[in-house]
């Protein structure tokens, strides 16, 4: 398993480099394997198709976001979400040229586009968990949808944000989270639920832990 993980990391790095150079549409699995110095058999074991390769690239970003652990529990939920979301943009920034090329090429790649929705749901669920907010059940389903909208709005800004400190992106994340916080205040059942950091009981405790709606958006990414 260690060797496979190493191959996967090499392959995703190679794919990002090739995408930056020639665009995502021009990236082939054979070229990725050659660039990574990985045999075709090992490349197949790691990523049998381009959809799986795209999913692996998203996983690479997710791991970077989660590497530093959860946000500080003493901070407010909005501050914790802001920290984790900006960690994600820092991770994207590290591979900016390749990520931008992939995002711009997605509409022309049906396989990767199919992987995008469940991968986004999985990533946002982990963002919530790292921020100390449960992504389970009906409350989690609504939270995933809301934070996904915040993230996608900021992602559109990030694509054209050339500032070294990502000031425009940070402003959009902050704005989106404030709007989401306002919505949550109008829907008290969204504010706290078992599974949140420091929460043991809440009005949402009667909700089922894993609703069908949550399975459709988060479970499909597994």
pLDDT (tens digit per residue) in 94-137: 999 999 999 999 998 888 888 899 999 999 999 999 999 999 99
Q: What is the DSSP string of 25-73?
A: GG--HHHHHHHHT--HHHHHHH-SSHHHHHHHHHHHHHHHHHTT-SPPT
SS3 of 194, please? Answer: strand
Asked if residue 215 has pLDDT above 60, the reply is: no
Q: Write down the pLDDT at residue 115.
A: 86
Cα distance between the two ends of the chain = 19
SS3 180: helix
Structure tokens at 99: 């990520």
Say if CB 102 and CB 12 are below 8 A apart.
no
pLDDT at 194 over 50: yes
C-alpha–C-alpha distance, residues 165 and 5, integer Å: 32
In sequence order, what are the beta bridge partners of 124?
Answer: none
Domains in the chain (CATH in brackets) are: 1-48 (1.10.10), 58-221 (1.10.357)
pLDDT at 58: 97
What pLDDT, on a 0 to 100 scale, did the predictor assign at position 188?
67
pLDDT recorded at residue 214 = 33
Q: How confident is the model at residue 213 (pLDDT cuts 50, 70, 90)?
A: very low
Q: What are phi and psi of 176, to 5 degrees?
A: -65, -40
Cα 141 from Cα 69, distance rounded (Å):
23
- Concatenate the DSSP letters of all residues of 63-127 into one string: HHHHTT-SPPTTS-HHHHHHHHHHHHHHHHHHTHHHHHHHHHHGGG-HHHHHHHHHHHHHHHHHH
Q: What is the dihedral of CA 189, 191, 194, 197, to 10 degrees?
A: 180
Mean pLDDT, residues 41-65 taken together: 97
pLDDT in the model for residue 209: 35
pTM attached to this predicted model: 0.83
pLDDT of residue 183: 82
């Amino acid at each position: 398993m260690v060797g496979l993980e190493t191959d996967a990391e090499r392959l995703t790095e190679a794919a990002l480099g090739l995408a930056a150079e020639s665009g995502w549409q021009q990236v082939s699995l054979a070229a990725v394997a050659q660039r990574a110095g990985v045999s075709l058999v090992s490349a197949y074991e790691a990523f049998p198709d381009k959809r799986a390769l795209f999913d692996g690239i998203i996983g690479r970003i997710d791991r970077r976001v989660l590497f530093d652990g959860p946000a500080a529990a003493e901070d407010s939920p909005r501050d914790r979400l802001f920290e984790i979301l900006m960690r994600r943009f820092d991770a994207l920034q590290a591979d900016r040229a390749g990520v931008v090329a992939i995002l711009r090429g997605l509409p022309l790649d049906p396989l990767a586009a199919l992987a995008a929705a469940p991968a986004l749901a999985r990533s946002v669920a982990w963002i919530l968990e790292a921020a100390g907010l449960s992504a389970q059940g009906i409350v989690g389903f609504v939270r995933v949808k809301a934070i996904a909208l915040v993230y996608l709005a900021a992602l559109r800004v990030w694509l054209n944000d050339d500032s070294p400190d990502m000031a425009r992106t940070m402003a959009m994340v902050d704005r989106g989270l404030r709007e989401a916080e306002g919505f949550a205040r109008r829907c008290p059942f969204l504010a706290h639920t078992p599974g949140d950091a420091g929460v043991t009981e809440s009005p949402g405790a009667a909700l089922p832990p894993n609703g069908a709606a949550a399975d459709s958006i988060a479970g499909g990414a597994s």
